Amino acid sequence: MTFKRVSGILLHPSSLPGPYGIGDIGPQAYRFVDFLADSACNLWQVLPLGPTGYGDSPYQCFSAFAGNPYLISPDELIGDGLLTPEDLHDKPAFDETRVDFGSFIPWKLSLLGRAYDRFAAESTAGLREALSTFRAENAAWLDDYALFMALKEAHGGGSWDGWPEPLRQRDPKALAEARKTHGEVIARHVFYQFLFYRQWNNVLSYAHQRGIQVIGDIPIFVAYDSSDVWSHPDLFHLDEAGKPTVVAGVPPDVFSATGQLWGNPLYKWEVHKASGYAWWIERMRATLKLVDIVRLDHFRGFAGYWEIPAGNATAEFGRWVPGPGADLFDALMADLKEHLGTEDLPIIAEDLGVITADVVELRERYNLPGMKILQFGFSGPDNPFLPHHYVTNCVAYTGTHDNNTTRGWYESAPEQERDFARRYLGVDGNNFAWDLIRAIWSSAAVFAVAPMQDFLNLGGEARMNFPSRLGGNWEWRMRDGDLNDGLLGRIRELNYLYSR
């Protein structure tokens, strides 16, 4: 893909400010788009937008196609006549700097339930027609997803592998009975998806009006407890009981002596190939309705991936298995050409980790920009993450959602690396986050992106995710006054100075 030299900010919608316990895709999202445009940025990067489950991770969603109902804006629902201001009077006193998932989820679901009840009782013909159209256009994934969520509710929220066998095995008679029994709950989940897509598409349209493109995220793997695995078991390595036989992860490296055991089920790539990669094509199409550019997570897994026998306690023992490689990307490219009229893949390759020659070859075959993380660069002058090694066709970051904030990194890094960083950048370290921002903005990289936490010069307390830690992740939020004219002017000046 041929991109223009521009810049942007990484900020998930859940981190936007606002009074409702979590950032959402209402007024503050439009305000952030205005901030980007007025500061001369052209990119807004978000994390996966799917419905989060256990652990609250956007990388472990109940569906690769659905949107996250928690991001639906109450203010927009009031504007649609689906809620009244009185409906918000029972709002708890939420912490405005952290998402407390345990306290906000029950309240938000209650609020969305009220909106559905009002829609069912007194909605306009126009809104009903729009919902009917949405349901018809998205039936390929929406019907299974809504049934999946209704069955989860009926079984106390537990994973689908604990449901009665006829439902686990998708017995047609059991599914037909479930659709009758849970019809009202199914309709509610369809309605939530309608609301999410309606609100997000309005935000996306406004972003385009203001010259902003959105970078989204496709995790290579999907969660086991998802509508995708339950409704397409043939696409994954599962046994007769529906349990994974092999799972995903990465082998031991300098960061982890036992590797990383992710636990996601692995794809039966030969089955995907036999279908012409139909599921992946639908996934890419669906994502590109929500975003303009896709960051393809764990890109190296498409060349070759680490297969771990299910039941292993760590990722130490496994084997490398070839991925689908060019076969998949040729299919994706052919579909994009047919449906979007483009011969380019609007993809950023997340090519971090153990990168072998076949990964580089796959990325270069499609001219995909890789990622450069400057925080990784300060081991010495030959480190490829230092800006003097950057090619134009790459995306430069200070850090990502999986790293410490830049200030947090500097405050906790070994002194040897801190010393090299100061010498390399020619700085004293007193404003290290902005020193790194300036370094990637001035680099040859076609895109320069930094997390909002770095623009705000926040420490480790504002870190978004600790990959090895259970709980306490994905919680950080901006304060209401953070988007001020001083910050806007400072970013705008950088974009002017470095032709972004």
Q: Which residues are catalytically annotated? A: 297, 350, 402
44 three-state secondary structure:
strand
Rounded Cα distance, 458 and 234, in Å: 46
Tokens of 94: 């939420």
Using an 8 Å Cβ cutoff, are 316 and 252 in contact? Answer: yes
Segment holding 288, helix H or strand E:
helix 278-290
442 three-state secondary structure:
coil
Segment holding 187, helix H or strand E:
helix 183-209
Strand blocks (E) in 212-324: 213-218, 246-250, 260-265, 293-296, 304-309, 319-322
Tokens of 497: 């100075």
Please give the DSSP secondary-structure letter assigned to residue 19.
Answer: S
Rounded Cα distance, 452 and 44, in Å: 10
Residue with tokens 């609250």: 56
DSSP of 416-429: HHHHHHHHHHT--S
Using an 8 Å Cβ cutoff, are 318 and 306 in contact? Answer: yes
Using an 8 Å Cβ cutoff, are 45 and 10 in contact? Answer: yes
Residue with tokens 């489950």: 53
Rounded Cα distance, 170 and 243, in Å: 14
End-to-end alpha carbon distance in the chain: 18
Amino acid at 99: V
Using an 8 Å Cβ cutoff, are 460 and 408 in contact? Answer: yes
Using an 8 Å Cβ cutoff, are 463 and 476 in contact? Answer: yes
Which of 203, 185, 70, 194 shows the shortest CA–CA distance to 127? Answer: 194
